[in-house]
Chains A and B, each alone.
Chain A
Amino acid sequence: TSAVMAVVCGRKLQAALGGRLRAGPWAPLRSVAAAAPLYDVVVSGGGMVGSAMAAVLGHDIHFHDKKIALLEAGPRKEYDRMPSSYSNRVSSISPGSATLLSSFGAWDHVCSLRLKPFRRMQVWDACSEAMIVFEKDDLDDMGYIVENDVIMSALTKQLDAVADRVEVFYRSRAVGYTWPLPSHSCDTSPWVQIELADGRRLQTRLLIGADGHNSVVRKEAEINNIEHRYDQSAVVATLHLSEATDNNVAWQRFLPTGPIALLPLSDTASSLVWSTSHEHALELLAVDEESFVDSINSAFWSNVNHSDFIDTAGAVFRSAISLLKPSGTAVRQLPPSVAKVDPESRAMFPLGMGHATEYVQHRVALIGDAAHRVHPLAGQGVNLGFGDIACLAHHLSAAAFNGSDLGSLKHLLKFETERQRHNVSLIAAIDVLKRLYSTRLAPLVLLRTWGLQATNALPPVKVRI
């Protein structure tokens, strides 16, 4: 896809240009810079990914004597008590991300607040009977649905626990960055200079940009970003089911306008993530609650998009598969029906995709949405960010234990290579899936129908996903 090509070309071009030189403002004279406090690492952006990054480093034994700062533009939020109603912003946390969070004690906090493990994921098409079911052979959890506020509460607690090493600056927005030359001359500071909105200055050996898909760090570092705004918005809401159930299945149906997903929160509540056209999203927010609930139920249950041709073709394929691989067709479960929506819980936000051509430069690294932004249809967004953290922390910890300069490109490039290798194919695949499922055209529906059925029948492919 174009994303892959651009990444490959971007890196080659940079190499040809002899390294990653920026045209930004150069480092100030030593005398001017001397006054600003010098940190080993500054993380810009205090969301889930930025906070987790700072917490992981703060708990790392090789960072025991280092100084870390976290810059967050918003105020400090107190999470002492979780409200009884669920927040409408939730994330699907993979087992790998849970492992990362437990490595510094945050997962215990999450478990003591609230979360919902799910065992099974059923994904099916609105235009055919094709379906794919993901579940683990052992009775382990596939993943966890956790409110973003719960994750932030756990992260804040663990940041407080290492307050002697990690300084969190709330209500602090960085307005300017000054970059050092790679092989500095004797007159300019070798550190990254950061200017805050209130005029305070910081210096750092390594700047980590975790400031979201409109990353200022990325823009100021003049790193190219391949981005594309989807013609879709996501509608989120907290829903109440008609009847209590085990509710340990995540449901996703691909409608021609976009996927609708029901993520379990408890035995009686689920979170809605419905990606659809901007107009439809506005409509959904505007109608009364009863009509809203009706639209959701209809989206999951109605077969209006089926065509006889596709249904027959699908059935034929299915019987072919069952001849070859008798266990290759799973039992189709029925999603729960929705009774009520939490008032005030409906909201929408626009969707897009993005990928930075470089994740690192001298003394700079990008993680999370600043580096890559995906469609929520695969529930991967924050997990990719946590994966970035695990990889970068591993390399920084080794570098600290080797006495290396933390901002050195040598280990930063290793992080970039590892993560781009992992991320690019997944991001491209999600983008392709999004486009493939945004159509009613028979040939493409057939393709994806057979593709989905085949994938459902093939264990090795399913396991990789």
Chain B
Amino acid sequence: QLSFFRLTIKRLFSTSHSSVDPKEIKKFQLLAHKWWDEEGEYSALHSMNDIRVPFIRDTLLNMSSNYHLGNPLSGVKILDVGCGGGLLSEPLGRLGASVTGIDPLEDNIRTADRHKSFDPVLAKRIQYKSSSLEEMVEECMETFDVIVASEVVEHVADLEMFIKCCFQVLKPGGSLFITTINKTQLSYVLGIVVAEKIIGIVPEGTHEWEKFVPPEELERLLESNGFSVKTVNGMLYNPLSGSWSWMESTSINYAMHAVKSGAQGQSNPTGAVSEMESEQPPATAGTTM
């Protein structure tokens, strides 16, 4: 298993506290078939589609002058990094995009493939691969119009490496959409203590507060690696209604849109350390009341 080999390498060479624990992988493997139960463990991710899909769709429509409202993302090539069971890939595919979904966990890819197989429209528009982002870099330089990394960067070991890979795989002028969790006292209390330990809407151990990314940090990394940050929006989850909404404050969850500038990219990252950009499947994000 290539992924398992990578995991071992990571633990040998990484100095940062690794969130890749074989026990955790096993935990997520148990949940690999629960992706499509809309009322189950991943219900918050299902309802997140109600704001993240319109966000992606409208941002792209605003940047384009040639589209049809019946097939708004037709002709757009999207890479969904850390796609899990395909929760976000499918709506993007229905809107007309050609989607490539990647995830390090093979069971997730299997679930995603199975779910799309009944739908002739989706089966054509979406391709899933069990892969890491670095593996994509070698074959797919400047291939994609859009990269979507939703609920992923809080699980990544080396964020700068991840961003550099995104840069290489995106076409010049392409868009990068990220949704993730801020690193604040509030996100610790609500996102971990309440969500995981008290209410239990996120499986315990899903998140590590140390790996949460403040928007200022993410913006700095993006800007210094050839991206121009266009939008930052706070997101809010209401556990009573099970729905997401936008909010001014980015103190818990937030979404970011950045565009790859037409300028030259950074030099290729090489080295013995092969990083896991997505050690775990995206789990339900932090919540708030």
Q: B243's closest neighbor in chain A, by CB?
A: A410
Q: Are A191 and B118 in contact, with the CB atoms below 8 A?
A: yes
Q: Are A61 and B70 in contact, with the CB atoms below 8 A?
A: yes
A19–B37 Cα distance when bound, in Å, is: 13
Which residues 132-189 of B have a CB within 8 angstroms of A? none
Say whether B69 faces chain A, with CB atoms less than 8 Å apart. yes
Say whether B197 faces chain A, with CB atoms less than 8 Å apart. no
Tally inter-chain residue pairs, CB-CB below 8 A. 51
Stretch at the interface among A62-70, A332-340, A343-351, A446-454: A62-70
Q: Are B93 and A403 in contact, with the CB atoms below 8 A?
A: yes
A183–B118 Cα distance when bound, in Å, is: 13
Which residues 39-83 of B have a CB within 8 angstroms of A? 39, 49-50, 53-54, 57, 68-72
Q: Are B91 and A64 in contact, with the CB atoms below 8 A?
A: no
- Number of residues in B with C-beta < 8 Å to the partner? 24
Say whether A404 faces chain B, with CB atoms less than 8 Å apart. yes
Q: A28-63 interface mask toward B, CB cutoff 8 Å, 1 = contact, 0 = none?
A: 001000000010000000000000000000000111
Which residues 253-269 of B have a CB within 8 angstroms of A? none
A318–B130 Cα distance when bound, in Å, is: 82
Give A375 Cβ to nearest chain B Cβ, in Å.
38
Which residues 77-126 of B have a CB within 8 angstroms of A? 90-96, 114, 118, 120
Say whether A402 faces chain B, with CB atoms less than 8 Å apart. yes
* B118 cross-chain contacts in A, Cβ below 8 A: 30, 184, 189-191
Give A134 Cβ to nearest chain B Cβ, in Å.
40
A405–B141 Cα distance when bound, in Å, is: 33
Q: Are B72 and A64 in contact, with the CB atoms below 8 A?
A: no
Q: Are B70 and A403 in contact, with the CB atoms below 8 A?
A: no
* B114 cross-chain contacts in A, Cβ below 8 A: 186
Q: Are B36 and A402 in contact, with the CB atoms below 8 A?
A: no
Q: B34's closest neighbor in chain A, by CB?
A: A183
Q: Are B50 and A402 in contact, with the CB atoms below 8 A?
A: yes
Q: Are B70 and A410 in contact, with the CB atoms below 8 A?
A: no
Say whether B204 faces chain A, with CB atoms less than 8 Å apart. no
Give B128 Cβ to nearest chain A Cβ, in Å.
15
Q: Are A402 and B69 in contact, with the CB atoms below 8 A?
A: no
A190–B118 Cα distance when bound, in Å, is: 7
- Number of residues in A with C-beta < 8 Å to the partner? 23
Q: Which residue of B37, B57, B69 is within 8 Å of A64 (Cβ)?
A: B69
Q: A203's closest neighbor in chain B, by CB?
A: B118
Q: Which residue of A19, A30, A63, A183 is within 8 Å of B70 (Cβ)?
A: A63
Say whether B21 faces chain A, with CB atoms less than 8 Å apart. no
* B120 cross-chain contacts in A, Cβ below 8 A: 38
Q: Are B50 and A401 in contact, with the CB atoms below 8 A?
A: no
Q: A403-B53, A404-B91 are in contact. Are A183 and B69 (CB under 8 A)?
A: no
Say whether B38 faces chain A, with CB atoms less than 8 Å apart. yes
* A186 cross-chain contacts in B, Cβ below 8 A: 114
Q: Which residue of B37, B39, B95 is within 8 Å of A403 (Cβ)?
A: B95
Q: A38-B120, A183-B37, A190-B118 are in contact. Are A403 and B69 (CB under 8 A)?
A: no
A13–B94 Cα distance when bound, in Å, is: 35
Q: Are A65 and B93 in contact, with the CB atoms below 8 A?
A: no
A190–B69 Cα distance when bound, in Å, is: 27
* A65 cross-chain contacts in B, Cβ below 8 A: 70-71, 96
Residue from B36, B54, B70, B120 having most chain A Cβ neighbours under 10 A: B70
Q: Are A402 and B54 in contact, with the CB atoms below 8 A?
A: yes
* A191 cross-chain contacts in B, Cβ below 8 A: 118
Q: A38-B120, A64-B71, A190-B118 are in contact. Are A403 and B92 (CB under 8 A)?
A: yes
Q: Which residue of A190, A401, A410 is within 8 Å of B38 (Cβ)?
A: A410
A19–B94 Cα distance when bound, in Å, is: 27
Q: Which residue of B49, B57, B69, B92 is within 8 Å of A61 (Cβ)?
A: B69
Q: Are A62 and B69 in contact, with the CB atoms below 8 A?
A: yes
Q: Which residue of B70, B71, B91, B96 is within 8 Å of A402 (Cβ)?
A: B91
* B50 cross-chain contacts in A, Cβ below 8 A: 402
A402–B94 Cα distance when bound, in Å, is: 9
Q: A61-B70, A62-B69, A64-B68 are in contact. Are A403 and B91 (CB under 8 A)?
A: yes
Known contacts A61-B70, A64-B69, A182-B38; can you find 18 more A-B pairs with CB under 8 A? A19-B39, A30-B118, A62-B69, A64-B70, A64-B71, A65-B96, A183-B37, A183-B38, A191-B118, A401-B72, A402-B49, A402-B50, A402-B57, A402-B91, A403-B57, A403-B92, A405-B90, A409-B38
Closest 10 CB pairs of A and B: A64-B70, A403-B91, A403-B94, A403-B95, A61-B69, A183-B37, A186-B114, A65-B70, A65-B71, A190-B118
Chosen A-B contacts, 16 in total, with CB atoms closer than 8 Å, are: A30-B118, A61-B70, A62-B70, A64-B70, A64-B71, A182-B38, A183-B37, A190-B118, A401-B72, A401-B95, A402-B50, A402-B57, A403-B49, A403-B95, A404-B49, A410-B38
